[in-house]
Structure 1
């Protein structure tokens, strides 16, 4: 499958949509599709209006960006489940890896976990938070394509499990 067909499928475009746009192959319609996809991931509709507020705890661009983390809030030594059904999964990745580390600043203790494909269709990995600070992560597939939340990665504060008063 070409990048154009993958992008068209992700956006839900049909051949009728392509005919309506006056093009059945990449080009100006391809750029329009790329702009539409970029707008979606930047929290804008095609008209450029805001579609959603960013999540309070995570640095993500839209509430449904294909990433779900549980439990939240997270505490040091918790085992968290990271589920992924984002761009790489929708493009048909044969394997997805969770690339993660701890911050703030440059990531410490960087690791990769091979994610397991679940019967529901998403990819999933379990990670024990054995360090503090921020849990930061992104994804890559077996072809070395990356989903890093448009350069922002995903990031969650790790609580120490103590009551501050």
Structure 2
């Protein structure tokens, strides 16, 4: 997750039972370049389904928005734009997160960013159970 944090992108799932909304905080390239309005451009799933723009609210932490997450969503993609149509899309890679309710093998405090291979390698080094769950979720398989 450190890679996205370095870009000023944070995502926090709501606590149970309201697991259908995630909060995104953005304090990256656009605000640092003087943007006074920022929008989160959001899509779900592997193919960016249900694309929608959310106007973010300026706070002490940067810009924030609450994003509804459907119960069947597995991946949330986001990039950011300002009122002048300048974009922060992570150098074309976008910001992508594994989302969904936690289970016995998946108990992380914040949603996982998908920096696919780095993320999997880090997980496998620290926790085999979480590693297996991450790989299975990426490939829609079961443990």
Q: Say whether the fold is shared (TM-score over 0.5).
A: yes
Hey, what's the Cα distance between the residues in 2 that align with 1:75 and 1:153? 29
Give the Å deviation of 1:149: 0.5
The residue that corresponds to 1:91 in the other structure is 33
Give the Å deviation of 1:128: 1.4
Normalised to the residue count of structure 1, the TM-score between the two structures is 0.55
Q: Secondary structure at the match of 1:143?
A: coil
- Kindly report the root-mean-square deviation, in angstroms, between the aligned alpha carbons of the 2 structures: 2.9
Deviations 1:60-104 (A, max 9, x none): 7454211111139x9994311100110000011120000001121
Q: How many residue pairs get matched? A: 105
Show structure 2 runs of 5+ residues with no match.
106-142
The residue that corresponds to 1:122 in the other structure is 62
Q: Secondary structure at the match of 1:159?
A: coil
Closer, same or farther: CA 75–157 of 1 in aligned 2, 3 Å: farther
The residue that corresponds to 1:101 in the other structure is 43
The residue that corresponds to 1:110 in the other structure is 51
Closer, same or farther: CA 145–108 of 1 in aligned 2, 3 Å: same
Higher strand share: 2
Hey, what's the Cα distance between the residues in 2 that align with 1:75 and 1:89? 33
Deviations 1:24-55 (A, max 9, x none): xxxxxxxxxxxxxxxxxxxxxxxxxxxxxxx3
The structure whose Rg is larger is: 1
Q: How does 1:19-38 map to 2 (within 5 A)?
A: none
Show structure 1 runs of 5+ residues with no match.
1-54
Indicate yes or no: 2:141 matched with 1:141: no
Q: How does 1:141-160 map to 2 (within 5 A)?
A: 141-160=82-101
